[in-house]
Amino acid sequence: MSVGYNVCMKITESIFKAYDIRGISGTELTADVALAVARAVADYLPTDGPVVVGRDMRTDSAELAEAVILGLTRQGRDVWDIGLVTTDMVYFSAGRFEELAGGVMVTASHNPGKYNGIKLCGRGAVPMGATNGLLDIKQAVVSDTYKASDRIGKVEQRSIVNEWVEQTLTFVNLPALEASRIAVDAGNGMAGAIFPALEEKLPFSVDRLYFELDGTFPNHVANPHLTETLVDICKLIDEKKLDFGLAFDGDGDRGGIIDELGVPVPEPIMGAILAEHFLKLQPGATILYDVRTSHIVKDTIEAAGGKAVRSKVGGDAIKGMMRELDAVLAIELSGHYYFKDNYFSDSGLIAVMAIVSVLAESGKKLSELVIPYQKYATAEEQNFKVEDAKAKVLQLKVAYSDGTQDELDGLTVDYPGWWFNVRMSNTEPLVRLNVEADTEAVLQEKLAELTRIIESKE
């Protein structure tokens, strides 16, 4: 391989985040850094076996993946190189193939093109974040300390696309699907490479948007959580009178769905639909939802006879809690949906296709299907720069002491008719605010009230 290793490289320690590694390409995250991370990962994984490596389409992902493979093999690890894939395919591989010791995905997900990153998991798709290995890996990289190895690992080129399509289809009632006209926006991300293999199995006529792989994201940021990134697909659905649309983020582990009127379905409503669906399949099951998520999710789970359990925000915490409680599904406000039958891992493709299956079984239009879940007025998450985030959260705790409070993750305060959650950022002087109410009028009143307190200099 052509990648070298610079023992004098500078490590920007801030690239080690809570759930993955992410930084500016070429300066913070270089091939040298990727190689060092891979050596540390190879040493850290507690079991023998190959490591699966995948990558997205960013301009330097191939170089970084090459460095990762070099680092793993230098430490004696064999590698399955599965090439250009979605992140959920790496998790799936580490779960499906028992001989694998873990997985590495080179991606910065939905971040702009100047970024890249590395996501990690262990055997069985167990996550590797700050609470489960990532800090050990960081320490090894910073101290430049690795185990001696007298073996060079072997590299095997593999394709798991067919297995991944088969896995996705296990969540779909194929006989119920009817010939539909749909739009799919891949956002120049990895869904553009993988969705066509699934499309061959579906009775759909697909209008494609931005399927060309391009890590510079020339058309829009690949993030279906942001309404502004869905303008083109919404317009296409309206102009061509399509049945619905699907949109994906850069690495394909999040997906959104848009109704036949060109209106995006909010993530909590997607979660509520999924919850009701899985509780029909597994009555009484446990389903998790993070502390920021709309109460429509809790309401739906309980109405369907399931056990609703709140969780902290973040994939590591959610996946660990799912395993502990044997939860069938977990729902995160950011649009990550985790499935027990997908090795407790998240998948954008599985999430949207499961909803497509529900839609087909219902015989309704998507705009009709979501009506029962449109119960609450919910604000988009607000981010505020503050001098002292901890002090600001404490101020809110005192100001709203007459509400029902808990501190599972940040501060959540419940009142009759409305509630809010405020959390401190792990990496910046920010507080993140989520507010929901029974009516739009109450929502706007309370959002303005909370904003005044947070922005005050007191």
Q: How does pLDDT run across 255-300, given as a tens digit for each residue?
A: 999 999 999 999 999 999 999 999 999 999 999 999 999 999 999 9
Cβ atoms < 10 Å from Cβ of 31: 24
Question: What does the pLDDT look like over 15-50, one tens digit per residue?
Answer: 999 889 999 999 999 999 999 999 999 999 988 999
Query: Among all residues, which ones are annotated catalytic?
Result: 109
d(Cα 346, Cα 342) in Å, to the nearest integer?
Answer: 8
For the purposes of burial, counting CB atoms within 10 Å of the CB of 324, is it exposed (0-12), middle (13-18) or buried (19 or more)?
exposed
Question: What does the pLDDT look like over 428-446, one tens digit per residue?
Answer: 789 999 999 999 999 999 9
pLDDT averaged over every residue in the chain: 95
Q: What percent of the chain has pLDDT over 70?
A: 98
7 pLDDT more than 80:
no
Q: What is the DSSP letter of 124?
A: G
Residue environment code for 393-415, b if the CB has 16+ CB neighbours within 10 A, otherwise e: bebbeeebeebeeeeebbbbbee
Q: Which CATH superfamily is domain 13-159 in?
A: Alpha-D-Glucose-1,6-Bisphosphate, subunit A, domain 3 (3.40.120.10)
The pLDDT-based confidence of 112 (bands split at 50, 70, 90) is confident
For the purposes of burial, counting CB atoms within 10 Å of the CB of 24, is it exposed (0-12), middle (13-18) or buried (19 or more)?
middle
Per the rule left: phi > 0, alpha: psi between -120 and 50, beta: everything else, 208 is: beta
Regarding pTM above 0.85, the answer is: yes
Residue environment code for 356-385, b if the CB has 16+ CB neighbours within 10 A, otherwise e: bbbbbeeeeebeebbeebebbbbbeeeebe
d(Cα 221, Cα 187) in Å, to the nearest integer?
Answer: 7
Domains 13-159 and 163-258 agree in fold: yes
**pLDDT computed for residue 223 by the predictor:** 94
Cα R_g (the chain), whole angstroms: 22
What's the mean pLDDT in 167-179? 97
Q: Name the token pair of 142.
A: 């910073």
2 pLDDT more than 50:
no
What CATH number was assigned to the domain covering residues 377-455? Answer: 3.30.310.50
- Closest of 179, 180, 178 to residue 240, by C-alpha: 180
Considering only the C-alpha atoms of the chain, give the largest distance between any 2 of them, rounded to a whole number of Å. Answer: 68
Least confident of 6-15, 83-92, 190-199, 392-401: 6-15
What's the mean pLDDT in 78-92? 98
| Whether the Cβ atoms of residue 240 and residue 265 lie closer than 8 Å to each other | no
d(Cα 353, Cα 269) in Å, to the nearest integer?
Answer: 15
Domain range list for the chain: 13-159, 163-258, 267-373, 377-455
DSSP E strands in 210-354: the ranges are 244-248, 255-258, 286-290, 307-311, 329-331, 337-339, 345-346
**pLDDT computed for residue 19 by the predictor:** 87
457 pLDDT more than 90:
no
Least confident of 88-92, 128-132, 182-186, 235-239: 128-132
Whether domain 163-258 has CATH 3.20.20.70: the reply is no
**Helix (H) or strand (E) segment spanning residue 363:** none
In the block, residue with structure tokens 């605010």 = 433
**pLDDT computed for residue 50 by the predictor:** 98
Question: What does the pLDDT look like over 311-329, one tens digit per residue?
Answer: 999 999 999 999 999 999 9
What CATH number was assigned to the domain covering residues 267-373? Answer: 3.40.120.10
